Amino acid sequence: MIIDIHGHYTTEPQALHTFRDKQLAGLADSARKPGSTDLGISDEVLVKSVEPQLKFQKERGGDLTIFSPRAGGMAHHVGTEAVSIEWTTICNDLIHRICTLLPDSFVSVGQLPQFPGVSPKNCIPELERIVTKLGFVGVNLNPDPSGGYWTDPPLIDRHWYPIYEKLCELEVPAMIHVSSSCNPNFHHTGAHYINGDTTAFMQLIQGNLFKDFPTLKFVIPHGGGAVPFHWGRYRGLAQDMKRPPLTEYLLKNVFFDTCVYHLPGIELLTKVIPVDNILFASEMVGAVKGIDPQTGHYYDDTKRYVDQVKNLGEKDLHKIFEGNARRVYPRLDKLLAKRGR
């Protein structure tokens, strides 16, 4: 079974964007607020909207995509906390509807109603709702709700502990995923995303978070940002800080996906990071949508790269494509087992 753990809803119907435009316009003029949160999107329109993902999933040999709202669309820095809560609820509800309509193709992961300077504790009601009532198997956690200015405390700070406690209680992993950038220095998918991945890992080295939360699981996307390429640097920094080896200190709790869009990058990832810590992902119809002229294939067709890595045996491939996902996402494993998959 091929499980893609990193898919975003990037082909939303126009009605969702229209609602968002009105919602944000209402911040300046209350008369322009949307009159209802009912978007009027039919089931048929929702199914049609994900035809690109279904097409690629079939063509590329995938079986199941863990599906969440558009990462750049979370935009936690925009508006107010109340706006974030309303927007998050609407986006998560759409994901739930899609995954209910197409359960053999998609499983739900949600966004959280974060807002700069506000305690993540305020996200717990939505986290509980989507996991216990809607059956979501994971969440995306934004380490920088400010959108590129990093005004909130680092992930190792007790500021985040309430949400970690609830994640552990619910047996739900978090993908550490930033959103759009309002800092002109950082292109959101080319710089801010990779910055976020790398920064999160370095923060985890600096603290001792997993001593307090030994069952907490984080997925760092986009191949871990710069981390695998600079693995020696991070091992050395950890050593200078008198930390245990990173395989002992972090890799029982931290995992990386394969959203790396060239074969040499995937080869490096699989050489540096233990296979038990690598989960297959593509983020298809995401950050890079084009065809690589050097290969004639889509950049984000990451299964092709994994299949070409010579040092991966059959057991390794099973872990990357399925086994690790079921271990890191226990609610996914239970859901699939219940369905006989």
By annotation, the residues acting in catalysis are: 283
The angle at the Cα of 73, spanning 98 to 336, to the nearest 5 degrees, equals 35
The angle at the Cα of 329, spanning 335 to 276, to the nearest 5 degrees, equals 130
Are 39 and 15 contacting, i.e. CB atoms less than 8 angstroms apart?
Answer: yes
Q: Which 3 state secondary structure label does DSSP give 317?
A: helix
State how beta strands 278-279 and 291-292 pair. Answer: unpaired
Q: Which 3 state secondary structure label does DSSP give 116?
A: coil
How far CA 257 is from CA of 145, 190, 292, 321, in Å, comes to 22, 17, 21, 10
Nearest of 116, 98, 120 to residue 107 by alpha carbon: 98
Number of CB atoms found within 10 A of residue 75's CB = 21
Number of CB atoms found within 10 A of residue 205's CB = 18
